[in-house]
Amino acid sequence: MTLHRCWPPLVFSLAALAIVVACKGTDPFVPQATSIQLSATTVNFASIGASQQLTAVVFDQRGDTMAATVVWSSNDNGVATVTPAGLVAAAGNGSTQVVAGAGPVNAQAAVTVAQVAAQIIKTKGDQQTDTVGNTLPIPLAVRVNDGRGNPMQNVTVNLAVIAGGGSLSASSALTDGTGVIPDIFWTLGSTVGPQSVQVSVPAGTAAPVTFGATAASGPPVAVVRQAGDSQSAAVGNPVAIDPAVRVLDAFNNPVANAVVVFAVSAGGGSLTGATDTTGASGIATVGSWTLGAAGTNNLTATVSGTALSFTFDATALVPGAPASVVVIAGDNQTGLIGYAVNFDPSVRVLDAASLPVPNVQVDFVVATGGGSVSGGSVMTAIDGTATVDSWTVGAGANSLTATVTGAGIAGNPVTFSATGAAAAFHIDVRYPLGVTPAQKEVFDSAVAFWERTIFGDLPGAFAMFTAPCGPGTPDINEFVDDVIIFAMLDSIDGPGNVLGGATPCLIRQGSLLPGLGIMTFDTADIATTIALGEFDEIVMHEMGHVLGFGTIWQGLGLLVGPARTGGTDPHFIGSQAVAAFDANGGANYSAGVRVPVENCIGLPPGLPCGQGQFDGHWRETVFGDELMSSYLDTGANPFSVITVAAMGDLGYLVNYAAAQNYTVVNPSALPQLRRAMRPLRDVILRISIIVIDAQGRVVERIPPR
């Protein structure tokens, strides 16, 4: 930049005047705002409340930036507002200009606000339940929002049924000033179960939403045959297929929870399970239908509370002469020498049309083996069966013939085979803390009883362990065959409480059958229980736990719904025990699943019941005084064939004839307050159980349960 020096006036002369005039053009430069440049000249918003910062640069007359105060304004604050710092915010749909001014100049940015649908919110009507074909009581409604949650007006919303059929009062609607569509009514389709409607907005980024509903079947309008019509059977015999009906609504959907009553309407005869309630499939089935007089028999199924019914036809036939005989049960068994086999041999006599023939004599005779029969001459029952009372086997191979009176009968006579085996199961009871002669006599008696009950030999194993049954119990270093039991008579908790406890300590890999176990007995109770004649039953009971009753059930998958994991109806599912339960008074049990195991529910008030009792005993409220229920009753506590059968389900070779007479005390399973019951308990001891292989090696340690 060139500097101009002004000389001081010496003389007022023309020359001096010229100099002064020349210096006047050097006054300071004053910048003036001539233009403004904005950071954006176009601003677009998709949501109310969205904002964008604008900046302005002011230029002078030379094109240089200059410092200047910028004043911001909006031509329509209803569309967009702007702060003194240039922050533009969307206020409503539309277009406007934001102006930045500095002195005589300004610049404008065009602002457009156009909401875009970004969210569909369900406001009512979701997840309802009603009957098929009905209009749901709560209409469907949604609100459409932009990306910042502001409602949008005049947005087209589409609705469509996507599952279950049915219809809507409108397939599209416009949102109002609150972003909500008018109520849409949904009429369910004819399909039972889940149904759904999808709601979408054709423009924007909003994801569709789905309304769900559950359609239940309507009231019964029809009952139809499901199975069991037009059968035939011999007079006095049940039909082969139990009659069943299906209850339907107006759309042919199955109706659940309909009560169906079956009744004989012609021919006589009888029923079991005459009332049934339909399940989800709408099916109800009679328990059984035994035909009456020869000729046409009818059974009518009526839906309770309606006039709906269906009638089954069956023909009762009169059997002809005997034509054949077949084995029903009892062949190829192994029994303990000198005792009856577990399953009595049984045959069925049939005519030429395979109808059972009643009132025909069948003679059961020992053919080989030296055994004996009881009730050897039997007349066939109405179902054509004849069963010998019992067959006691001798040593080795045994055979029994069943001969039907008459000629030309196919298969006559029938021959049954059995093997008589000697007792080979050995229980070795040891007394680490000593025992009196009277006490030992009780243990010896219990051993003899269990060795009559279980008679099959088990594979032996070598065991070498230190205190395998817990601290203070003896070490073991020997070959085990079949089971060793430590009987520990010691102080537990004083008189009148826990009588004793038991558990296996070592069990065999695979079968899980015990090789070593422990029984403990409270010395404070022994004298009293001996005097009352109860100590022998207590010892037998605890010995059963050592042998696996209640202690290896879960490992073998025989206990379902255990109480320790929250089950309310624990039950034993071994097939032998279930059959024995049914045959000894439990066939009509309906309070749960057979065979019921202790759950500590329904016991008399104040009677203790806990971890050592549930899941490991028969249920007290059903079995009562049976020996392996969870409490000791005064008087006899019989050892039932149900318990023997359960030991057979564990994998032992057992002798049903060792059982004592017993009938299920309370098949209705209604809690009974038996005042003669003594509140004396036993427990299943909670210790780790060692699983060993045939060489005595540890393959697993099962923690206490």
**Pairwise CA distance, residues 41 & 97, whole Å:** 9
Q: What are phi and psi of 645, to 5 degrees?
A: -65, -40
Q: Determine the 3-state secondary structure of 132 from DSSP.
A: coil
Give me the pLDDT at residue 410, please. Answer: 93
**Pairwise CA distance, residues 577 & 454, whole Å:** 15
pLDDT at 705 over 80: no
Digit-coded pLDDT (tens) for 20-59: 334 444 678 899 999 999 999 999 999 999 999 999 999 9
Give me the pLDDT at residue 462, please. Answer: 86
pLDDT at 7 over 80: no
Other CB atoms within 10 Å distance of the CB of residue 530: 16
| Intrachain domains 35-113 and 324-421 with the same fold | yes
Digit-coded pLDDT (tens) for 246-299: 999 999 999 999 999 999 999 999 999 999 999 999 999 999 999 999 999 999
Give me the pLDDT at residue 114, please. Answer: 95
Instruction: Please determine, looking at this structure, whether the domain spanning 119-216 carries the CATH number 2.60.40.10.
Output: yes
Q: Which CATH fold topology does 324-421 show?
A: Immunoglobulin-like (2.60.40)
Q: Which CATH fold topology does 222-317 show?
A: Immunoglobulin-like (2.60.40)
Q: What are phi and psi of 482, to 5 degrees?
A: -100, -40
Q: Retrieve residue 507's tokens.
A: 């069990």
pLDDT at 384 over 60: yes
Q: Is the dihedral of CA 214, 219, 222, 224 positive or negative?
A: positive
Give me the pLDDT at residue 125, please. Answer: 97
Question: DSSP string covering 372-426, please?
Answer: EEES-EEE--TTSEEE-SEEE--SEEEEEEEEESSSS-BTPSEEEEEEEE-----
Digit-coded pLDDT (tens) for 621-663: 899 889 999 888 878 899 999 999 999 999 999 999 999 999 9
Q: What mean pLDDT do residues 668-684 have?
A: 53
In percent, how much of the chain has pLDDT > 90?
A: 78
pLDDT band at residue 673 using 50, 70 and 90 as cut-offs: very low
Digit-coded pLDDT (tens) for 449-502: 999 999 999 998 888 899 999 888 899 999 998 999 999 887 766 666 667 789
pLDDT band at residue 672 using 50, 70 and 90 as cut-offs: low
CATH number of 35-113: 2.60.40.1080
Element (H, E) at 644: helix 641-649
Q: What are phi and psi of 318, to 5 degrees?
A: -90, 120
pTM: 0.72
pLDDT at 92 over 90: yes
pLDDT at 514 over 90: yes
Q: What one-letter code names the amino acid at 275?
A: T
Digit-coded pLDDT (tens) for 94-135: 999 999 999 999 999 999 999 999 999 999 999 999 999 999
Q: Domain coordinates of the chain in residue numbers?
A: 35-113, 119-216, 222-317, 324-421, 427-692
Other CB atoms within 10 Å distance of the CB of residue 92: 16
